[in-house]
């Protein structure tokens, strides 16, 4: 039976923008696949471990020093654009100058923090004979560029220039590939820092190429009035940045724990498995910040409409990601050999066990945006901190018991904990409820996913392919039937074919 017209149009909208940003993310992932394939050949698991360490450090410093401006500025700029119903440069230029001025200062702070904190970070991650302390200080250009880039991308999102955002992602993926692989090939492990810095700076330049034609770069770093005007962004963003610090802290602490209690090889395997099952499958979630968050914010005072929007997003995410995960789980040994090398085969079991992490995120992520859309940043901070602390303990504890496969189990268990946590909390605070149809759909796909997990872990290779293929078809057919009944996009595609 067809869905009501209002719901049908809404689901079409969700599916459309998930497809648009997912398509761009697909190109990004393709470039990442090529880069990882070449990097695995030139660097091996140890190189992947070093990349994971450096990136987690850079992300942590960036999250610590940006005051949440890349997030809060999007909200304020969107309100200004919405109130004027136009992108009048005369009206918006002063506020964009405020954004860029604050981002410039946060970039300087990030670079100084990287240099000053490098001895402590080096002691945490490396033994004395592995790398000198000043190695981490060489990430200063990278963290500086990350802060500047955060401001420029927030301007485009606030102006709703989503096509430019998508184009930047595609161009940035190609440039990152071109600027990293030559250094991996020519310098090996010694080329990692150079490659990371150059690719990040190039990404900043690409953002400028798309934002400067709209608004020329102007800052007033020593104007107290400009700094005062930006304080409202900082006040809104502080809880968000504290949550980001907690998340980045976990992302930084986990590699250190895996390296110190395991080995660099284990850390490299973990990073490869995480890329395969979490980063690549995350293509389904790429439209959340650009499309879902503004839609949810628009109905944040209406409980019924808010629940409807969240349930619609969950349905589309579950329908899209379940067949993808089953296909990836079934073909994971082949995928690892194609995308990496045979030395990364130990990552297969972890990647398979982490599938439920991504599936549960399809449910928890739309719910988790509720606090932000309603302006309850302190509640959002509390939920994030609790989840981050508990997830670190679960993942590391499971790793100590079951090794790499345990890390995948820990990821899935942490996502289950998150679902229970925000389900209970947001259910009481905002009156959120999963609809009966959404719950039934999620349970159906959960059963198929659980059967696939058992087959992939215990069945011989031939039965793995046969049973996995059958389960994939069942999941795909179920998703197709629901989407065909509740949206018009499937009919349009069939008509064109």
Q: How far apart are CA 265 and CA 341, in angstroms?
A: 14
Give pLDDT tens digits for 20-70. Answer: 555 556 666 677 677 777 777 777 777 777 887 888 888 888 888 888 888
Residues 293 and 253 both lie in one domain: no
One domain, residues 252 and 298: no
Residue 245 lies in a domain: yes
Pair 325, 212 in one domain = no
Boundary residue ending a domain (202, 232, 261): 261
Predicted local distance difference test score (pLDDT) of residue 372: 75
Both 338 and 476 in a single domain?
A: yes
- Which of the four pLDDT bands, split at 50, 70 and 90, describes residue 257? confident
- 13 in a structural domain: no
Q: Could you identify the residue written with the tokens 């200080």?
A: 137
Would residue 135 count as lying in a domain? yes
- pLDDT at position 436 is 92
Residue with tokens 């790499």: 404
Which residue among 261, 296, 311 closes a domain? Answer: 261
Q: Do 124 and 162 fall into the same domain?
A: yes
Residue 1 pLDDT > 60: no
Mean pLDDT of 192-211: 91
3-class DSSP state of 300: coil
In the block, tokens 């900043």 appear at 204
**Which residue from 251, 245, 247, 255 is spatially nearest to 399, judged by alpha carbons?**
255
Range of the domain at 93: 24-261
- Cα separation, 262 vs 265, whole angstroms: 8
Q: Are residues 320 and 438 in the same domain?
A: yes
241 with 285, same domain?
A: no
**DSSP H helical segments within 262-289, as ranges?**
264-274
Indicate whether 85 and 230 sit together in one domain: yes
Query: Going by C-beta distance under 8 Å and a sequence separation of 6 or more, which residues neighbour residue 463?
Result: 455
Q: What is the pTM of this model?
A: 0.72
157 lies in the same domain as 54? yes
Which of 157-171, 312-326, 472-486 is least confident? 157-171
Q: What phi, psi does 107 have (nearest 5°)?
A: -65, -40
Q: How many domains does the chain have?
A: 2
- Over the stretch 79-119, which tens digit does the pLDDT of each residue have? 677 554 445 667 788 888 999 999 999 999 999 999 998 88
Residues 339 and 434 in one domain: yes
pLDDT, mean over the chain: 82
């Amino acid at each position: 039976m067809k869905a009501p017209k209002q719901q049908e149009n809404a689901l079409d909208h969700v599916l459309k923008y998930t497809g648009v940003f997912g398509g761009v993310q697909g190109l990004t992932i393709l470039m990442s696949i090529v880069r990882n394939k070449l990097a695995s050949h030139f660097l091996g698991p140890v190189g992947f471990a070093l990349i994971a360490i450096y990136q987690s450090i850079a992300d942590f410093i960036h999250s610590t020093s940006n005051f949440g401006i890349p997030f809060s500025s999007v909200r304020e700029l969107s309100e200004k654009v919405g109130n004027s119903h136009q992108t009048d440069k005369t009206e918006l230029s002063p506020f964009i100058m405020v954004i860029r001025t604050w981002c410039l200062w946060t970039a300087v702070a990030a670079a100084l923090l990287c240099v000053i904190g490098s001895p402590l970070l080096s002691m945490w991650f490396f033994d004395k004979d592995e790398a000198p302390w000043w190695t981490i200080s060489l990430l200063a250009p990278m963290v500086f560029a990350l802060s500047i880039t955060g401001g420029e991308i927030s301007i485009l999102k606030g102006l709703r220039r989503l096509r430019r955002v998508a184009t930047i992602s595609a161009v940035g993926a190609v440039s990152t590939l071109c600027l990293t692989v030559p250094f991996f090939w020519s310098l090996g492990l010694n080329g990692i820092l150079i490659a990371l810095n150059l690719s990040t700076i190039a990404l900043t330049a690409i953002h400028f190429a798309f934002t400067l034609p709209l608004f020329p770069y102007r800052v007033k770093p020593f104007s107290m009035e400009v700094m005062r005007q930006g304080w409202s962004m900082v006040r809104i963003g502080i809880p968000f940045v504290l949550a980001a610090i907690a998340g980045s802290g976990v992302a930084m602490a986990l590699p250190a724990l895996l390296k110190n209690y395991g080995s660099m090889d284990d850390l490299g395997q973990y990073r490869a498995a995480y890329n395969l099952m979490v980063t690549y499958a995350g293509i389904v979630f790429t439209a959340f910040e650009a499309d879902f968050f503004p839609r949810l914010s628009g109905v944040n005072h209406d409980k019924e409409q808010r629940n409807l929007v969240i349930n619609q997003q969950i349905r589309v995410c579950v329908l899209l990601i379940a067949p993808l995960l089953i296909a990836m789980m079934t073909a994971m040994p082949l995928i690892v050999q194609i995308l990496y090398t045979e030395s990364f085969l130990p990552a297969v079991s972890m990647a398979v066990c982490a599938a439920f992490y991504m599936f549960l995120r399809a449910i928890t992520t739309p719910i988790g945006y509720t606090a932000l859309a309603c302006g309850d940043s302190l509640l959002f901070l509390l939920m994030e901190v609790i989840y981050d602390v508990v997830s670190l303990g679960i993942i590391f504890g499971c790793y100590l018991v079951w090794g790499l496969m345990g890390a995948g189990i820990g990821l899935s268990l942490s996502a289950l904990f998150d679902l229970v946590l925000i389900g209970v909390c947001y259910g009481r605070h905002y009156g959120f409820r999963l609809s009966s149809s959404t719950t039934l759909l999620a349970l159906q796909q959960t059963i198929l996913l659980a059967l696939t997990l058992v087959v992939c872990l215990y069945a011989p290779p031939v039965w793995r392919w046969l049973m996995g293929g059958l389960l994939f078809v069942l999941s795909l057919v179920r998703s197709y039937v629901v989407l065909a009944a509740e949206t018009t996009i499937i009919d349009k595609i069939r008509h064109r074919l």
